[in-house]
Amino acid sequence: MNIAVIGTGYVGLVTGSVFADMGNDVICVDKVKSRIRQLTQGKVPIYEPGLEEMILRNLDEKRLSFTTDLHTAVTKSDVIFIAVGTPPKDNGETDLSQVEKVAEGIGKSINAYKVIVNKSTVPVGTGNLVRNIIDRVKKDSMKFDVVSNPEFLREGSAIFDTLSPDRIVIGAPNRQVAMILLELYSSLGCPMLITDVESAELIKYASNAFLAMKISFANAIADLCERTGADVSQVINGMGYDHRIGKHHLQPGLGYGGSCFPKDVDSLIQTSRKFGYDFRLLQSVVDINKERCVTFVQKIGKALGDLEGKTFAILGLAFKPDTDDMREAKSIEVIEQILLHRGKVRAYDPAAMENAKRIFGNRIHYSRNAYDAARGTDALVVLTEWREFKLLNLEKICHSMKQPYIFDGRNLYNFEKNRRLGFHYYGIGRSVNSHH
């Protein structure tokens, strides 16, 4: 099948590469010339395990190409995926300006029947918006259909998630157009759900909002555990065995971040208001999430007496492991709070150091590894649960520190083991926080 993917951000790059790997001819389009030049040379601007190898393989086999020429990509393709950014506005609404611009470009270039697929995360009603824009600018006789096909990719495992999804959701205006998408995905052998366009648009937001709610619930329980003497890891473990609840996304910590959950929850709240519904439950989810880092830094300040003049080793800058993405990362909030209170920061992350430099500049020190970061510091602060951090020689780190404090924002380490090594250990939602 001839496919165009418009937008070479996270979703567009993964989608286009996987479709090419499945044997389709794929043209990926982006307006940023430097990005297209990079990609044509096989240089991938984002960190995602397995993606660079897949792009290089399909470039070599001529199934994948990159261009800034939207018109040519549209005319050569049967199915056109819109995968551009939909960032939040200041009020939490979704900014659809990039989607609108692409829809206009498609409409002006359409030369035969096309299936236009919204892959970007967009609010209910965007399918109609795209259809109306294309209708307004296209040549009279050209027919097309607009489909919603939301993505459910997790950064760090996006290739796996695309090839082995829990489900494929196809929101289509009729069964005939749905069959085109079913054919495209048929080799994946996963459940496929055909819905109307509006339901498909809402499925993505409802899914992410529910997962964010589980995270905020776990954090609320963690706060209660610290007050009652319970251990949140035991409470969550006991809950997770119930198949109606499950263990996924029920981990307490510093709250949700990244490019999806914060903006999708806010967008669903704003969409609900637009349709006259006050989604108070989701507003509480947001409020709990906003408190996490403030409470965490207050805990650090209380334990150390003061942050001023203290040096902190920050382990983890990306919003989650196996990615270099720092969008809405909790590290930003925590580091800014430490700097505000005149503390000093030595930071290390396996993948996100370059992105961190764009945010913090020379306000913090960038370390070669975790051991370098910890040397001579007053406290070790764990913000991202990278696998390599689980395997550190903590005894070596303890001896190299000025003061042996660990503030574990991801409950990565065992309390008893750390106490035996000589650490003052503070986790999230653990009754042992006060037992020193």
Q: Enumerate the active-site residues.
A: 260
| d(C-alpha 44, C-alpha 149), whole Å | 25
Task: Kindly write down the DSSP assignment for every residue of 337-397, as one continuous string.
Answer: HHHHTT-EEEEE-SS-HHHHHHHHGGGSEEPSSHHHHHTT-SEEEE-S--HHHHT--HHHH
Residues in the chain: 436
Q: Which of 304, 296, 309, 334 is nearest to 405 (CA)?
A: 304
Q: What is the CA radius of gyration of the chain?
A: 24
Residues 6+ apart with CB under 8 A from 40: 59, 65, 66
Structure tokens that stand for 56 in this block:
């290089």
Axis crossing angle, helix 197-228 with helix 261-274, rounded to the nearest 10: 120
Structure tokens that stand for 382 in this block:
């764990």
Do the Cβ atoms of 10 and 46 come closer than 8 Å? yes
Sign of CA dihedral 54, 59, 64, 69: positive
| d(C-alpha 222, C-alpha 238), whole Å | 14
Q: Which of 113, 238, 134 is nearest to 177 (CA)?
A: 113
